[in-house]
Amino acid sequence: MQADRFFSPDPAQKTIAQALYDAIKALPIISPHGHVDPRLFVEDTYDWGSPVDLLIIPDHYVFRMLYSQGIKLEDLGIPRLDGTPVERDHRKIWQTFADHFYLFRGTPTGIWLRHEFEEVFGITEKLTSDNAQAIYDTIDQKLQSPEYTPRKLYERFNIETLCTTDYATSSLEYHQQIRDSGWDGDIRPTFRPDGIVQVNRPDWRDNINKLSDLTGIDIVDYKTYIRAIETRRDQFRALGAVATDHDVSSREFYRWSNEGMERIFANALQNSSNLDSQETIFIAHTYMELARMSAEDGMVMQLHIGSHRNHNQPLFDKFGRDVGADIPSGNQLLTLKSNFLLNEYGNDPNFRLIVFTLDESTYSRELAPLAGHYPAMLLGPPWWFHDSLNGMRRYFDRVMETAGIYNTAGFNDDTRAFPSIPARHDVWRRASADWLAGLVIRSIIDEDDAHAMAYDLAYNLAKRAYRL
Amino acid sequence: MQADRFFSPDPAQKTIAQALYDAIKALPIISPHGHVDPRLFVEDTYDWGSPVDLLIIPDHYVFRMLYSQGIKLEDLGIPRLDGTPVERDHRKIWQTFADHFYLFRGTPTGIWLRHEFEEVFGITEKLTSDNAQAIYDTIDQKLQSPEYTPRKLYERFNIETLCTTDYATSSLEYHQQIRDSGWDGDIRPTFRPDGIVQVNRPDWRDNINKLSDLTGIDIVDYKTYIRAIETRRDQFRALGAVATDHDVSSREFYRWSNEGMERIFANALQNSSNLDSQETIFIAHTYMELARMSAEDGMVMQLHIGSHRNHNQPLFDKFGRDVGADIPSGNQLLTLKSNFLLNEYGNDPNFRLIVFTLDESTYSRELAPLAGHYPAMLLGPPWWFHDSLNGMRRYFDRVMETAGIYNTAGFNDDTRAFPSIPARHDVWRRASADWLAGLVIRSIIDEDDAHAMAYDLAYNLAKRAYRL
Amino acid sequence: MQADRFFSPDPAQKTIAQALYDAIKALPIISPHGHVDPRLFVEDTYDWGSPVDLLIIPDHYVFRMLYSQGIKLEDLGIPRLDGTPVERDHRKIWQTFADHFYLFRGTPTGIWLRHEFEEVFGITEKLTSDNAQAIYDTIDQKLQSPEYTPRKLYERFNIETLCTTDYATSSLEYHQQIRDSGWDGDIRPTFRPDGIVQVNRPDWRDNINKLSDLTGIDIVDYKTYIRAIETRRDQFRALGAVATDHDVSSREFYRWSNEGMERIFANALQNSSNLDSQETIFIAHTYMELARMSAEDGMVMQLHIGSHRNHNQPLFDKFGRDVGADIPSGNQLLTLKSNFLLNEYGNDPNFRLIVFTLDESTYSRELAPLAGHYPAMLLGPPWWFHDSLNGMRRYFDRVMETAGIYNTAGFNDDTRAFPSIPARHDVWRRASADWLAGLVIRSIIDEDDAHAMAYDLAYNLAKRAYRL
């Protein structure tokens, strides 16, 4: 990989970008939001399985691209819900992957994989049909060596803090075990209450029961439900949690009457799948309560808005969630729909709201103006389909003039692929350096400001945003 | 015209772009979607009329710009529906055009015209008020020379395949005559059934009658209607058709009951203009049937989504369709509305769907994620207002990271202006080369990949997408 | 400030940009739309107050950014509606501003302030915590010198025409006094009838009474209401007004029956806050009448579309309007909703409509195609959050290929901060020169065209658009 990769070609700009990048490239990684499995860090050792177990089966960025070109998920070893056997020959799966590696030309997945191959596994050749098995061997051997345990990689990656994402009903046992183990890595849970808030989910009633068990609070009405959530948040905070996270699809936030909420809750306890329009009210009001809790207990509230989950029903029926079929949808009307929430809590200095979007048309139109006004609100980094070089460029382009960088939350990698974390932060740091160099070369900012901003974007903003 | 036109100014990037472009510039042209009149190719000769007949009257890109600055369509020779005489002095019209040629500064029409003037007619001067008549003479003379027949130009343009767009009720006589003539140009019809699907159109009933006549099927109910469509598709395929094309405004796709469809169809046969909400149901269900047919007969289904046709009613009343007053409209909700269609056919390896949009905000938000997931779906090239240098740059920027180039359909020129075809493909090839050079110079891809991708973008993807 | 600031880094492009800019930088300023207070120009002298009175308290671009980072508006001296005392120590406020000046890194406000400091006040140091008081002193002294009166600055800024924005119920006394004073600056009012059109506003009834008084027309029904508006427009025109301006939130334009309008008007006179859906009808029809008036009296109709005013209710209750809490909202459906208006007046050569948007996704999708077709319509320059270097680049990118520059209205600064006017026009002129240089270096236009276009963008288009 070239030392000046991803920088703009103009030699003068590139020199500035390189200097900015060199000053921040070795900063510790703050990873305040992501989906790494905490089990990785419970013990000194960990069994990664094969290269396919590491790089293909858990990574829907990878296998959805192969699927889009007609390769069956079964042939990539993705497990079926009904237990029908799928391909188990990982060398064959790896060969298929290598044969189609050209599909990733010019994509962020291509960039991350190259980075992982070279920086994590020392492989500098491009993956081809011919060298596929040899590269498989190299990765396979390294995965079994003592330098490649998650804890060792955590240290080698220079991670300062890593936050996972955990259901409200998660036992948090692995987080407890990590703390008990005496290892000094900073792994923190994040409170994700979708399963107890999205009242229409088939598992809602079960989740309420679990919440009762975990908190010792008998949930009999909306009042006890709210108290149980508060208690559960305390339990998360006791294990280091600094934030909550919410997959927001309804995008409505408003308050209902106490009596009304009690009535809906009573109905939901009877049959939560039959609430009709009450569901929207339930969620809208409960988000207001969650915001109130954040204003009180200081946990940062993250809203991830705009994913249409499980768009491909036949695939969902066979393989379940997270198979690359979550598709963004537009028409967010954030300005309108955030009105009640921001009016009630947006001016509160103890409340912090970080908003992520999949609708880039709202960057300059709604999100940057909102974040550039409300003290409580920060704008999260480019998310998911947009955490790429172009996505970052569009984000810098459309957000920063109105919000300034100081109303943004720095970077987070949002990944479940642990070994891709350095690659993702490196892309952000390079993109930041290049953007700032563009401002310097156009005399919009001076080099002193650029250095301060590069440090903030790479490290400080994320730490400050999440109160770490 | 400069040999390095349209490339980025950085010398290193430009060198790469030029090398990529030089390798693809002479590739044959695949034109799988457009609106060229098949009559051009029926015989060895053709009467083009005057330069105004060739370049102004049929080209709403040209005359709508003049209209927007207050020049009446009558003064440009555009025929009125009611037969009121319009300007017939083509030299005078040409002078008006030349006097206002500055309006096209920086526009794609300006670029295409310059290319046509220079490459097709050998005119290297910029059109001005002063040289207008001389340039008129030059074009006029060439149009009458034997080297300027459509067939000769087809060969000179190095076109490999040219697909026209034909109503379902078109007789296809010209296509038949071309085939019968023994000329070896590859001209193919495309099946466009809007007139028999959009049940609210005033001419729907007539079109159904024509469809009956053409297929020999007595259309008495929805079942025979569907059978007639299937038969008509077979007839198109017999003349080389590989695709269907649909002007989609309702954007709804779902299934209704057989009984319900029969009821609506019976009503429509009585009075199709009085269907109210049944119209949407009729179209939504019929699109599902058209998708089923494509999955069965292998014809590629093209959806052109988002044009508000004939926005200017007073102009429509005077001049009819295609006068530059088709305006894109937004709010497509594609993710939501494509759900049923893609759930039923999106995973079918025999189905191929190519989607075109006029709403660029859906590129990164909806279309690239959908095309990057569903095996059946490809994303069409930038369409209409966006088939320009900037439009292509935005397309590469927003689509390719998520979809990869291999979930796109290459280029099509979508033009009714036959002599502008090489200009349009040249812009695409240059834009592609420049985009790829930008990836190479930033070390995102290597030069080998860039050359392979340039070839695919210029030639191979279109051929593969349309199963040519 | 560097002489080549804001230009692209490529040396060849920069040379062209510099030449284009040098040719237009000293052109007179046409400011056809803005919010400067006409009182500034009534006499030869004017008391600016302190640097905080000049640069912070009236500029919501500045104080909303400080507010977004937790600084209270009270601490910035912003007056409260209820008279509660706020910070009055302007040196302390200035120090707070300087301590947080880093928030403006990379923002247009940062660019404008630097320009004002250097070009207007001769301050070349960057504002810091350390030099804050010294810079305060410098500005304070200059403000009291005879070279810094508004009239002197108007001349020094080389302003040719400056249009203010005035309520329909404004007395226009300052405009009258300017005319009477014999000073030869060209200050013109603009007719802004929101307060008499937006029938749901609490002050609507009072405004109707004022309109009666100002026109001498007893407004007893819709007919007399319309006549009074026509008369009031005449009065504005008598003082030089060339345009009207409308804050459009409903975005509906259609006609209702005369009887229906009379009925609604009668209801409104009784209780305008209780009109429910009639409000939308009232506004939609009245906009059609305002368009008719423009077609008759020749006043240019400006529509500013898409601001959700006073989004932050608690702040509005304390501080009132214009405190940085006006947030854009999307989903404009302009193509659909403009249909009646453009069908009735869009083809009328005497009607001129200039449309401004806060939803950039409509640039290429709706506004450029509409402006590129309808003779009456021009597209206004990038507005508000988008009147920045990036916003201008996006505008050039997405608008110009379809509309051409000749269907745009040139630049306007839209500011209430009089000393920032040269800074804003300079940014536009530099951005224009850089964009054009990019077209030249890519051989899209030649240098002759570029020079003509630079002149048009900087000066001529605005003058022509507003019929000055």
Residue-wise pLDDT tens digits, A31-66: 999 999 999 999 999 999 999 999 999 999 999 999
pLDDT in tens, B164-182: 999 999 999 999 999 999 9
- Partner C contacted by B328 (CB < 8 A): yes
Mutation to test the C interface, candidates A338, A351, A370, A444, most C Cβ within 10 Å = A444
Q: Per-residue confidence at A331, pLDDT binned at 50, 70, 90?
A: low
Helix (H) or strand (E) holding A303: strand A300-305
Least Cα separation, residue B418 to chain C (angstroms): 21
On whether the CB atoms of residues A417 and A59 are closer than 8 A, the answer is yes
pTM: 0.97
Residues of chain C contacting B104 with CB distance shorter than 8 Å:
404
pLDDT of residue A249: 79
Q: SS3 for B19?
A: helix
- Torsion-angle region of C410 (φ positive above 0: left; ψ -120 to 50: alpha; else: beta): left
Task: Give the C-alpha separation, A368 to B178, whole Å.
Answer: 58
Q: What is the pLDDT of residues C396-410, one digit of tens each?
A: 999 999 999 999 999
Q: How far apart are CA C92 and CA C97, in angstroms?
A: 9
Residue B231 has pLDDT above 80, yes or no: yes
Residue A169 near residue A192 (C-beta atoms within 8 A): no
Would the pLDDT of B274 be above 90?
no
Does residue C146 have a pLDDT over 70?
A: yes
**Looking at residue A330, what is its pLDDT?**
77
Give the distance from residue B401's alpha carbon to the nearest chain A alpha carbon, in angstroms. Answer: 4
Burial class, A47, CB count within 10 angstroms (exposed 0-12 / middle 13-18 / buried 19+):
exposed
Measure CA of the first residue to CA of the last residue in chain C; give whole Å.
33
Q: Does the structure show a pLDDT above 90 at A332? A: no
DSSP state letter for C82? T
- Tokens representing B396? 């590469």
Q: What is the DSSP string of C3-20?
A: TTTTS-S-HHHHHHHHHH
CA nearest to A435 within chain C: C106
| Residues paired with residue A245 on neighbouring β-strands, in sequence order | A302
Query: From start to end of C132-255, where are the E strands?
Result: 159-163, 166-167, 187-188, 191-192, 243-248
With CB atoms and an 8 Å threshold, state whether B108 touches C401: yes
User: What digits encode the pLDDT tens for the residues C70-85?
Assistant: 999 999 999 999 999 9
Average pLDDT over residues B82-106: 98
> How is residue C17 written in tokens?
């940009």
Q: Give the separation between CA B341 and CA C318, rounded to whole angstroms.
A: 52
Q: Measuring CA to CA, how many Å separate B79 from each of B203, B366, C52?
A: 22, 41, 64
Rounded distance, CA B382 to CA B404, Å?
15
Facing residue for C401 by CB, picked from B324, B329, B391: B391
For C324, name the nearest residue in chain A, comparing CA atoms only: A373
Q: Are the C-beta atoms of residues A430 and A6 closer than 8 Å to each other?
A: yes
Strand partners of residue A377:
A353
Q: Does B334 touch chain C (CB under 8 A)?
A: no
| Residue of C130, C140, C112 whose CA lies nearest to C52 | C140
Residue written as tokens 């403000």?
Answer: C143
Alpha helices in A311-441 (DSSP H): 313-319, 334-337, 339-345, 361-362, 368-371, 389-403, 421-441
Query: C81 is written with which tokens?
Result: 């509606």
Q: Is any Cβ of chain C less than 8 angstroms from the Cβ of B105?
A: yes
pLDDT at C337 over 90: no
Angle between the B222-238 and B278-297 helix axes, to the nearest 10 degrees? 40
| Residue numbers of B between 397 and 456 with CB closer than 8 Å to A | 397-398, 400-407, 438-439, 441-446, 449, 452-453
Is pLDDT at B331 greater than 70 in this prediction?
no
Percent of chain C, pLDDT > 70?
99
CA A202 – CA B172 distance, rounded (Å): 55
CB-CB under 8 Å, A362 with C359 = no
Digit-coded pLDDT (tens) for B361-414: 999 999 999 999 999 999 999 999 999 999 999 999 999 999 999 999 999 999
By three-state DSSP, how is residue B82 classified?
A: coil
Strands (E), B151-273: 159-163, 166-167, 187-188, 191-192, 243-248
pLDDT bracket for residue A344 (50, 70, 90):
very high
Any CB–CB contact under 8 A between C16 and chain B? no
* Residue numbers of A between 132 and 161 with CB closer than 8 Å to C: none
State how far the Cα of A221 lies from the Cα of A264, in Å rounded to an integer: 10
Q: Give the confidence band of A329 by pLDDT, cuts at 50, 70, 90.
A: confident
The arithmetic mean of pLDDT across residues C135-147, rounded, is 97
Q: Which two tokens stand for residue B216?
A: 């020999």
Q: Residue count of chain B, please give it.
A: 468
Residue from the list C366, C373, C398 with its beta carbon closest to the beta carbon of B324: C373
CA-angle at A66, arms to B242 and A326, nearest 5°? 95
Contacts of B430 (CB under 8 A, 6+ apart): B5, B6, B7, B17, B21
* Partners of A29 in beta bridges: A159
Rg of chain C taking only CA atoms, in angstroms: 23
Q: What are phi and psi of B430, to 5 degrees?
A: -70, -45
The DSSP annotation for C291-313 comes to HHHHHHH-PEEEEEE-EETT--H
DSSP B450: H
3-class DSSP state of B198: coil
CA atoms within 13 A on the CB side of A426: 22
Give the number of B-C residue pairs with CB atoms closer than 8 Å. Answer: 138
Least confident of C45-59, C139-153, C248-262, C293-307: C248-262
Within 10 A of B345 (CB to CB), how many other CB atoms are there? 22
Model pLDDT for residues A152-211, shown as the tens digit of each residue: 999 999 999 999 999 999 999 999 999 999 999 999 999 999 999 999 899 999 999 999
Question: How do residues C274-284 score in pLDDT, each as one tens digit?
Answer: 788 899 999 99
Judged by average pLDDT, the poorest of A30-39, B62-71, B431-440, C265-274 is C265-274
Angle value at C-alpha A411, between A174 and A446, nearest 5 degrees: 150
Tokens of A205: 């009633």
What letter represents residue B440's amino acid? V
Bridge partners for C304 per DSSP: C247, C356
Average pLDDT for chain B = 96
Rounded CA separation A383/C267 (Å): 50
Average pLDDT rounded to a whole number, residues C30-44: 98
**A450: which residues sit within 8 A by CB, 6+ positions away?**
A16, A20, A436, A437, A439, A440
CA A82/CA A65 separation, integer angstroms: 24
Q: Which residues of B touch C452 (CB under 8 A)?
A: 102, 105
**In B, residues 176-205, which contact A (CB 8 Å cutoff)?**
none
Neighbours of B61 (CB within 10 A): 21
Alpha-carbon distance of B419 to B49, in angstroms, equals 14
> Is the pLDDT at C329 greater than 70, yes or no?
yes
Report the share of chain B in percent with pLDDT over 70. 99
- Asked whether the beta carbons of B326 and C365 are under 8 A apart, the reply is no
The amino acid at residue C405 is I
Least Cα distance to B253 among B281, B219, B216 occurs for B281
- β-pair partners for C302: C245, C354
Distance CA C119, CA C461 (A): 26
Residue type, C44: D
pLDDT higher than threshold 70 for residue C332 = no
Model confidence at A275, pLDDT cuts 50, 70, 90, reads confident
Cα distances (angstroms) measured from residue A180 to each of A149, A175, C66: 19, 9, 44
List strand residue ranges (DSSP E) for B37-144, in order. none
Per-residue pLDDT of C341-377, as tens digits, reads 999 999 999 999 999 999 999 999 999 999 999 999 9
- The amino acid sitting at C424 is R
Q: Helix and strand tally (H, E) in chain B? A: 22, 11
CB C90 within 8 A of CB C51: yes
**Among candidates A26, A30, A12, A4, which has minimal Cα distance to A464?**
A30
Cβ(C150)–Cβ(C458) below 8 Å: no
